[in-house]
Chains A and B, each alone.
Chain A
Amino acid sequence: MTEAVARAISALRLNRAVLAIALIVLAILVALAITGDALAPMDPAQQSLRARLKPPGFEGRTGIHWLGTDAVGRDILSLIVAGARPALLVSGLAVALAGFIGVLVGMFAGFRGGRMVDLLLYITNIQLAFPFFLLAVTIVGIVRPSVSLVVFVIALGCWVPFARIAYSETMQIVEQEYIEAVHVMRGTTFRILLRHVLPNILPNIIVLATFALGTAIVMESGLSFVGLGVPTRTPTWGKMLSEGRDYMQTAWWLTVFPGFAIFLLVLSINVCGERLRDITDPKLMGR
């Protein structure tokens, strides 16, 4: 008995430590995304063909390249710093858009029921059956990539869970007696959804959003990897990965560091998301 308690306590401590680290990493990356290139040790766009493909720790004319240089001699550390903004901005906007549309559609369907539900399920099923990446590559391949297009495409890839959760939760809530009471008092649909349904489903949506953010970052990197990401002055993390692919055997630092940056960001977001879920889950209350 005491042993189990001790294990639980140590697990809890470990969880806390992991959470703390995740929060710190996330805070740093968000700070980098806000400040942009300003915190980069060197100008990330500065090329130097004489210092191309140099390993971590190489001392160039502009200082020490702590994470080495890429194929045209840019500082990898500075590129990663500069890449935090597009990674977070694009995925953040995409999740916001997906959440907005998904919740709106889901709540409406849950409230109205009937035909609307069939339509919603029909559309989401089609979308889930269609490989997202194929869809994304087709759309971005036809239209010239831009920030808004990539945000739209990623949002298209992650709005379905929002709609489904919002739909099922709304359906349960509207059957409650207090909603009927509002009906009786002739409350408008808009008022019911905004004042009574939304606040009740919001915690779940926020938890979902954190996980969707992780997925969106991976999607953004994937699109960048195949050359369909947002056009930026310096390569995004996904683009760095694809550019470094040819040098994987001869210059590992081109792929390992940006890959690690993506991994770290997504992991931190997921750890935080998990904790958020635990907090909002009434079954786990008080832990």
Chain B
Amino acid sequence: MSFKAIPATFLTLGLALASSTFLPSEALAQKTVARVALSGGLDRLDPIMSANGTDLVVMTQIYETLLKLDPKTGELKPHLAEAYRLKSPTVWEIKLRKGVKFHDGTPLTAADVKYTIERILNKDLASAHYSQLTTVSEVRVIDDYTVEIETKKPDPVLMRRMQPIGGSGRVFIVSKAYYEKHSPEELTNLPMGTGPYKLGKWEKGASLTLVKNDSYWGDAPDVDEGVFTFIPENSTRVNALLQNEVDVIQRLPIADVERVKKSSNAHVVASPNGLVHTLLLDSSKPPFNDLNVRKAFAHALDTEEMVEGLLGEYGRVLGVPMGPNVLQFDSSIKPYEHNPELSKKLLQGKTPIKLNTFTSDGRYVNDRDFYQVINEQLKQVGFEITPQTLEWGRFINMMQNRSGGPFYIIGWDFGEGDASKMNSFLQSSSALSVTQDPEYDRLVTMAGEETDEAKRTEIWKQVQKYVHDQYFVAAVWQASSLYGFSNKFDWVANFGENLALSEFKTVKQ
């Protein structure tokens, strides 16, 4: 029996060898498939409705915006729009690129742009991007390739909202004809845009396949097909990469960076422009409506040690709540120094200050550890913290009702490179703002209406100083966005959180 098996083994081995010699030529004909593991599942793939992080990863491959950002200079560059100009202080004129086709073969025209913006502004739909376009009063189609956008008052940053990075606009252009023909459910399940990839197959909860759009107007990407799967558990995701089950993973945990670096089949792709984490204080309620308590809180923390210890080379402490890539960023403002003695002095007669807080676990890089260290350092100066961990969906709901507790961490993508992003968490009208400060509101309204770039920067510098002096945000740090990549692919991550399948390069091995 056993000696019969031996020739059979040789035969199989021989066959395997023979077939492997055919592999190179086969590989040439084969499709290049990138398997991407996302950290969460997909919800709705309608770019008008969804602003969910994982939805965006997929939608940005299918849909496109009028403009994009230059990764080096941070300036706006043409994309679906060929050119744009400020015709009068309140009118922007946009010329569209000719020859752009939707996946169904229909050409992109000015009517689609008008339809997209009006759909976002349709109050009944409650678009996720509504608040970003409230200055728009009218969109006019001049001819097939020219659109005019009129604003109620001068809005110098409107064009920044026409690019996909950072989340302050995300005006993804949709097809008017397609949207008018389909029900909201169909639009959610069957996205159709102008991008380099189109929807292949979506098996809900299991995987989603994107295939290359052969009639794409721009450069053809290296990757022919993208298969997205969903692995929320950190270590499972890393293991899937190391065992070659997937080629790319999102949100590589810092604890596993060394493992990926040491592995023979994968490497780390890092972008310094990751989320800017803000430790927000609810200054609209006691005890943080008192400037001295906010000050004591901030100086009780050793943010430098915390970031060094928990993020190592993948984190940096910032003095103001915005990314250093922001045009108006003031690098002369330094982070609050660790001075527990000062904190104790400021809190004299007020301690213990009892706080019931909520914390997240797993939403941001090492957030649980950050909360633990913060709470312990606060205890040293007289705060008494009773923390409770919440599931993120519930937590963010509470934050939007301004009842997320006295302090918490939120991370912001400052990819768009404009200071106005700060308004999302500091302007009283924003749902996520726990600061209700008339002076801040006055300054930023002034900045928002200023069309002169230099004067605008000047006002934003004033705002930064004011925010720093008022201790609205107790600590700020930026964590690099980390990805695990199979050695078959490489990618230069310019914009932190924004994974771009079309930018992947195949690596010859």
> Is A227 part of the contact surface with B, judged by Cβ < 8 Å?
yes
| Consensus secondary structure, chain A interface | loop
Q: Contact: B389 with A227, CB < 8 Å?
A: yes
**How far is it, in angstroms, between the C-alpha of A71 and the C-alpha of B238 when the chains are bound?**
19
Interface positions, chain A 241-287, Cβ under 8 Å from B, are 243, 245-251
Q: Closest residue to A242 on the B side, CB-wise? A: B361
1/0 contact string of A6-24 vs chain B (CB within 8 Å): 0000000000000000000
> Is B220 part of the contact surface with A, judged by Cβ < 8 Å?
no
Q: Contact: B235 with A47, CB < 8 Å?
A: no
Q: Contact: B373 with A249, CB < 8 Å?
A: no
**How far is it, in angstroms, between the C-alpha of A144 and the C-alpha of B387 when the chains are bound?**
10
Q: Contact: A47 with B306, CB < 8 Å?
A: no
Q: When A49-B308, A49-B310, A250-B255 are in contact, do A227 and B361 touch as well, CB less than 8 Å?
A: yes
Q: Closest residue to B361 on the A side, CB-wise? A: A227
Interface positions, chain B 236-281, Cβ under 8 Å from A, are 238-239, 253, 255-256, 258-259
A65 CB to closest chain B CB, in angstroms? Answer: 16
> Is A222 part of the contact surface with B, judged by Cβ < 8 Å?
no
**How far is it, in angstroms, between the C-alpha of A52 and the C-alpha of B368 when the chains are bound?**
14
> Is B369 part of the contact surface with A, judged by Cβ < 8 Å?
yes
> Is B305 part of the contact surface with A, judged by Cβ < 8 Å?
yes
1/0 contact string of B213-239 vs chain A (CB within 8 Å): 000000000000000000000110011
**How far is it, in angstroms, between the C-alpha of A144 and the C-alpha of B389 when the chains are bound?**
10
> Is A72 part of the contact surface with B, judged by Cβ < 8 Å?
yes
Q: How many residues of A contact B (CB 8 A)?
A: 21
Q: Contact: B259 with A249, CB < 8 Å?
A: yes
> Is B509 part of the contact surface with A, judged by Cβ < 8 Å?
no
Q: Contact: A49 with B305, CB < 8 Å?
A: yes
Chain A residues in 8 Å Cβ range of B310: 49, 52
Q: Contact: A49 with B388, CB < 8 Å?
A: no
Chain B residues in 8 Å Cβ range of A145: 388
Chain B residues in 8 Å Cβ range of A243: 368
**How far is it, in angstroms, between the C-alpha of A247 and the C-alpha of B356 when the chains are bound?**
28
Q: When A72-B373, A250-B258 are in contact, do A49 and B309 touch as well, CB less than 8 Å?
A: yes
**How far is it, in angstroms, between the C-alpha of A227 and the C-alpha of B386 when the chains are bound?**
13
Interface positions, chain A 195-249, Cβ under 8 Å from B, are 227, 231, 243, 245-249
Interface size class of B (residues with CB under 8 A): 20 to 34
> Is B12 part of the contact surface with A, judged by Cβ < 8 Å?
no
**How far is it, in angstroms, between the C-alpha of A254 and the C-alpha of B232 when the chains are bound?**
21
> Is A50 part of the contact surface with B, judged by Cβ < 8 Å?
yes
Q: Closest residue to A50 on the B side, CB-wise? A: B309
1/0 contact string of A142-172 vs chain B (CB within 8 Å): 0011000000000000000000000000000
Interface positions, chain B 332-383, Cβ under 8 Å from A, are 356, 361, 366, 368-369, 372-373, 376
Q: Contact: B373 with A247, CB < 8 Å?
A: no
Q: Contact: B238 with A249, CB < 8 Å?
A: yes
> Is A26 part of the contact surface with B, judged by Cβ < 8 Å?
no
> Is A42 part of the contact surface with B, judged by Cβ < 8 Å?
no
- Name the residue among A53, A73, A227, A231 with the largest chain B CB count within 10 angstroms: A227
A93 CB to closest chain B CB, in angstroms? Answer: 20
> Is A45 part of the contact surface with B, judged by Cβ < 8 Å?
yes
Q: Contact: B235 with A245, CB < 8 Å?
A: yes
Q: Contact: B387 with A231, CB < 8 Å?
A: yes
Q: Closest residue to A144 on the B side, CB-wise? A: B388
Q: Contact: B387 with A250, CB < 8 Å?
A: no
Chain B residues in 8 Å Cβ range of A144: 356, 388
Chain A residues in 8 Å Cβ range of B239: 249
**How far is it, in angstroms, between the C-alpha of A145 and the C-alpha of B305 when the chains are bound?**
32
Chain B residues in 8 Å Cβ range of A73: 309
1/0 contact string of B376-418 vs chain A (CB within 8 Å): 1000000000111100000000000000000000000000000
**How far is it, in angstroms, between the C-alpha of A243 and the C-alpha of B362 when the chains are bound?**
10
Chain A residues in 8 Å Cβ range of B256: 249-250
Chain B residues close to A by CB (< 8 Å): 234-235, 238-239, 253, 255-256, 258-259, 305-306, 308-310, 356, 361, 366, 368-369, 372-373, 376, 386-389
With A72-B369, A231-B387, A249-B239 given, name 19 new contacts (CB 8 A): A49-B305, A49-B306, A49-B309, A52-B310, A53-B255, A72-B373, A73-B309, A227-B361, A227-B389, A231-B386, A243-B368, A245-B235, A246-B253, A246-B255, A248-B235, A249-B235, A250-B255, A250-B258, A250-B259
What are 8 residue pairs bridging A and B, where the CB atoms are less than 8 Å apart in the complex?
A: A52-B310, A53-B255, A144-B356, A227-B389, A243-B368, A246-B235, A250-B255, A250-B256
Chain A residues close to B by CB (< 8 Å): 45, 47, 49-50, 52-53, 71-73, 144-145, 227, 231, 243, 245-251
